[in-house]
Structure 1
């Protein structure tokens, strides 16, 4: 039973019951999938502590994505107390097993110095590995490193290319950064299209900041776009 099959099922409960039986029988993939269902309350009552239990079982059996999610639970305090040290340890294990999300998450902690000593060079290396595997958020962060000169010499052209790739891969932050560069190049039409795409997936807090920034832009077209997007959100 795949995650996609469960997601497409109008009533997920029967599918989750099948996954639970497989998890209890020792199927590691099923354990990770059942943990996710418990964490999301999909087809079963939400239970963060029980989700943590199943993630831990799968992670300790070598399941890379379960390792990453176990790290996430420790980082955010889902089903357990927040513990950045444990989060970093599990992210490292997930990254070493090839999880692009594990690579991104350990890079995030390394960049911020949370749970580990701050090390932008190591963060850059992990972002690069994840980006080269197609991880959109890591592409954007790789662009930021070249844009800001974090652990690497500034290179506007390389930053622009990674922002472009992040935008096409669907990262809303990359889409905004790409739009900003397009505006600088005088392509307002393309910039607005990317801003609209970003607004479709950006979380509310990010979107509110974006609209505020656009509303105070020196470019009339961006001020107008901010008003249009705000009306759409309020409608």
Structure 2
């Protein structure tokens, strides 16, 4: 299908996102046209399409090129994706020094995902103090994954005095924002408090959103519990995971 250039150039960010969520082949054609017309947001989305092979043949080198094009226009999300490519070897050899420098550049300019990625890289390299500082900065901006990891630092007392109350508050905020690891942590806290209905609700939410690797570990943890209800949930998660899916989400009841 031919797409009028005027239509492409006038597309809004919302239209681009809607196209991205549509039929893969059609989305790839439409967003590719917008990317070639110079739309920065489309260049990022087309890079993602090429990275995943969504509706087109996977081409990580080309994906990196589109991320670089958008980053050249000053887009911090695109710059962070360039760092991700260097960190993970997507379309280029792994270069952790380059990835770290790119993340630091975007992080210093305030981009929360760059702050999170920099923190994670520093943590893997053994610099917990540096990681803590960047997780904290991202969490202060409302970055849910950073809140969860910052909570773990506070709970364990890594490079900071232990503060379980603050940790649990961070888990609650991140869980409400949809972070499945925080939801699992909330379920663990509810289990420790003996509130199995609340634990089941939180674990159910985590199971509805978690990655395959996380779901495997979660199922094993629940299957090892003495509570029959938690073991049953673990069995459901494992069965759904083995079938390539997830269990249906169980909403958390509003507190009254």
TM-score (norm 1): 0.88
Q: What is the distance in 2 between the residues matched to 1:206 and 1:74?
A: 25
Find the counterpart in structure 2 of residue 38 from structure 1.
50
State which of 79, 83, 97 in structure 2 corresponds to 1:85. 97
Please point out which of 139, 145, 156 is paired with 2:147.
139
Question: 2:176 and 2:22 mapped to 1: Cα distance?
Answer: 29
- Over 3 Å counting, the alpha-carbon distance change for 1:155 and 1:225 in structure 2 is same
Partner residue in 2 for 1:97: 109
8 Å contact from structure 1 (residues 38, 51) kept in 2: yes
Shift of 1:120: 1.9
Give unmatched runs, 5+ long, in structure 2: 1-10, 244-256
Q: Is the 8 A contact 2:132 2:150 kept in 1?
A: yes
Deviations, residues 43-66 of structure 1 (Å, cap 9, x unaligned): 443211011111112223321001
- 1:150-174 deviations in Å (ceiling 9; x for gaps): 1111011111111111111111111
Cα separation, 1, equivalents of 2:24 and 2:64 = 24
TM-score by length of 2: 0.82
2:62 match? 50
Q: 2-side partners of 1:25 and 1:230: how far apart?
A: 46
Taking a change above 3 Å as real, the CA distance of residues 8 and 202 of structure 1, as seen in their structure-2 partners, is closer
Given candidates 19, 24, 44, the residue that maps to 1:6 is: 19
Moved more, 83-92 or 217-226: 217-226
Partner of residue 71, structure 1: 83
* Uncovered stretches (5+) of structure 1, i.e. residues with no partner: none
Counterpart of 2:41 in structure 1 is 29
Match 1:206 to one of 189, 192, 214: 214
Please tell me the root mean square deviation across aligned C-alpha atoms, in Å: 2.0
> How has the CA–CA distance of structure 1 residues 122 and 9 changed in structure 2, closer, same or farther, with 3 Å as cutoff?
same
The change in CA–CA distance for 1:148 and 1:104 in structure 2 (over 3 A counts) is: same
Residue of structure 1 equivalent to 2:254: none
> 1:220: how far off?
3.2
CA distance in 2, matches of 1:119, 1:102: 16
- Pick the aligned partner of 2:180 from 163, 172, 178: 172
Paired with 2:221 and 2:29, the residues of 1 have a C-alpha distance of 48
Q: In 2, distance between residues paired with 1:8 and 1:208? A: 27
The aligned counterpart of 1:119 is: 127
